Amino acid sequence: MGGVASPLEIGVTLVSGSTEHTSEDALSALVGLVEADLEACNRVIVARMDSPVALIPQLAAHIVAAGGKRLRPLLTLASARLCGYPDQPNAARHVDLAACVEFIHTATLLHDDVVDESQLRRGLASANAVFGNKASVLVGDFLFARAFQLMVDDGSLRVLAILSKAAATIAEGEVLQLVTQNDLSTTEARYLEVVQGKTAALFAAACQIGAVVAGRPEPEETALSTYGMKLGIAFQLVDDALDYVADQATLGKTIGDDFREGKITLPVLVAFLAGDAQEKAFWQRTVEALEQTDDDLDQAMRLIADHGAIGVTLESAQRFVQDAKDALMVFPDSPIRRALCEVADYTVQRLR
Amino acid sequence: MGGVASPLEIGVTLVSGSTEHTSEDALSALVGLVEADLEACNRVIVARMDSPVALIPQLAAHIVAAGGKRLRPLLTLASARLCGYPDQPNAARHVDLAACVEFIHTATLLHDDVVDESQLRRGLASANAVFGNKASVLVGDFLFARAFQLMVDDGSLRVLAILSKAAATIAEGEVLQLVTQNDLSTTEARYLEVVQGKTAALFAAACQIGAVVAGRPEPEETALSTYGMKLGIAFQLVDDALDYVADQATLGKTIGDDFREGKITLPVLVAFLAGDAQEKAFWQRTVEALEQTDDDLDQAMRLIADHGAIGVTLESAQRFVQDAKDALMVFPDSPIRRALCEVADYTVQRLR
């Protein structure tokens, strides 16, 4: 367990650590607008993931410091500011709740990596690979509980309702993904249900609670929730495409993970449905029966390219991006609104 | 996955399913006093563990219906009644919160069995053995989130604070157990920290929230929290003793589980510290290095018996039982108080 960053060291790396999926340019514009908030949020994260049981902050630091882009807490902070949450020294509810959102996200990452038996996360050894599955499950539980303690400290039952529902929806989405895994009869609608649950529900909640802390009326809550939901779906669609096109160095994760696990994503569904009998047999052998040889990933990528499945996936993502941006139009034009629209655009552009 | 009880079938088995650790006599007295509450609680459990993702209620039913004794929700129900919570048709907060407590408990059981790689739970195949580790982790997450949704519906921030803190403490206790595993230099104090976290914290919270819903003053909250904490510690001490004396048929779990995993429990600590050099070497080989042969469990049980380690563990448990009963003396004598004292007594007597 050597080389693990201490919580104090993380404080330094957190702020600049936005290197993963979404284009840095679009994110830096948004980060620039809420920079002080994000720094405060990182301090809350470090302070609240502490525990007398030293392994907890050690393991949490490993994943929290591993170069995550803080996209979800950023959305909470930016949404609160978009809704006019006051910029005063004693107004920090949005900061605490942004930390909450990151804790819930981190907990699901820890459990995901156990479930997926992942060895890499953002290009580094995953927590389960370093600390073992047991510790990852339990520290995930701790962070989840800690998130709820933070919400209770905040004191809003509305926020608690939104985030506890999101947490249940995430778990439902993950279980549904497990059920559809290795099943090529999965429909696109069912795939989108998985994506909405496992990814987009937390994006939606992260945005919505920004409106709640700012005390905005329901139409603005709904608008931000819709923005987050559509953005989250687009984000996951692009992620699923990246698993069949990006190389490991730029993506920061092992390419072909989804393929090796037999996850049924849109690129696979498109290529499978458009394929001839021989190609269908290939997919049945590789992602349903999980009988794979070394050359199969290359062949999968070829078939996906031949049938334009990446393009189809991106077009779908682009439609969700447009919906996301449209939802924000209830708010007057502002630098924050423009930055949120840019983040949505770059979600897709990171692949083009 | 054949033979899994549907949520509707469970409704029937739940009420009578109290067969595990604590003596049935003592429990039936308590059950008899809150029977209608417990039936209502079982209905809430079945209703709220439902999900459009069918695997979730299937897996949850497997563990919820597996003959658990509902000890923790019973404590919430009985504590509320002890505190004079009104027996009226529209007064059901204690019932909903008792279901919450059971959901949190069930979530931790699911994760525990994954962490411990258990094959049996209460004499039946564990959920992870039937449905796999992945589904167990994720359905645990779902139940945990659902518990918080139930609390939000109840609307008490005080209850949310107590149970979110308990959830964090449970995770800390579990991680601490992982850290002390295979480490014979663990002190008895550290072992008790593990026990307080992983087991007693939820007992304490389950009792305390009974006083909260009844709107009782802090001394009564504290008294019930203390009762639950001490009872929980005694309960776990006896459980740890049972792992070295009971046979599988009566205990309903695999004997020697703790030994095989190298868990450092009080019977092992007592026997190790009292042992000669050869015996110390035995413990180091078996529970530290985990190099075990078929005869080692018998030898461990012999050494534990020779050094009176079960007796020492029971005496310790007995002291906690006394503390638990003493704590209840702030309440006037009543059938419920007597039943709660009997439950404490039988926690230890189930081994005598």
Given the structure tokens 């393009």, which residue do they identify? A311
Which residue, among A105, A128, A147, has the nearest Cα to B115 in the 3D structure? Answer: A128
pLDDT number for residue B254: 64
Taking a C-beta distance cutoff of 8 angstroms, is the pair A116, A261 a contact?
A: yes
The partner residue sitting opposite B138, judged by closest CB among A115, A145, A148, is A115
From residue B250, give the alpha-carbon distance in Å to each of A162, B30, B300. 45, 22, 20
Please write down the HEC assignment for all residues of B201-228: HHHHHHHHHHHHHCCCCHHHHHHHHHHH
Decide which of A186 and B2 is more confident: A186
Alpha-carbon distance of A349 to B1, in angstroms, equals: 44
- Could you report how far apart the first and last alpha carbons of chain B are, in Å? 38
Query: Per residue in A331-350, pLDDT tens?
Result: 999 999 999 999 999 888 87
Query: Per residue in A201-248, pLDDT tens?
Result: 999 999 999 999 999 999 999 999 999 999 999 999 999 999 998 664
The partner residue sitting opposite A135, judged by closest CB among B56, B167, B175, is B175
Structure tokens at B329: 């003396």
Alpha-carbon distance of A127 to A114, in angstroms, equals: 9
Q: Which residue in B1, B53, B143 has the most chain A C-beta atoms within 10 A of its own C-beta, making it the best mutation to test that interface?
A: B53
pLDDT number for residue B62: 85
A175–B135 C-beta distance less than 8 A: yes
Enter the ipTM. 0.90
Decide which of B114 and A117 is more confident: B114
What is the average pLDDT value for chain A, to the nearest integer? 88
B337 at A interface, C-beta within 8 A: no
Query: Per residue in B179-232, pLDDT tens?
Result: 999 999 999 999 999 999 999 999 999 999 999 999 999 999 999 999 999 999
pLDDT number for residue A22: 45
Which residue, among B6, B88, B75, B7, has the nearest Cα to B44 in the 3D structure? Answer: B7
Among A133-142, A241-250, B113-122, top mean pLDDT goes to: A133-142
pLDDT number for residue B235: 95
Flag whether pLDDT at A5 surpasses 60: no
B52–A111 C-beta distance less than 8 A: no
Decide which of B126 and A28 is more confident: A28
pTM of this structure:
0.90
Query: Per residue in B30-86, pLDDT tens?
Result: 999 999 999 999 999 999 999 999 999 998 888 876 657 799 999 999 999 999 999
Q: What is the DSSP letter of B69?
A: -
CB contact residues (below 8 A), chain A span 17-76, against chain B: 51-53, 55-56
Query: Per residue in B237-296, pLDDT tens?
Result: 999 999 998 654 455 556 788 999 899 999 999 999 999 999 999 999 999 999 999 999
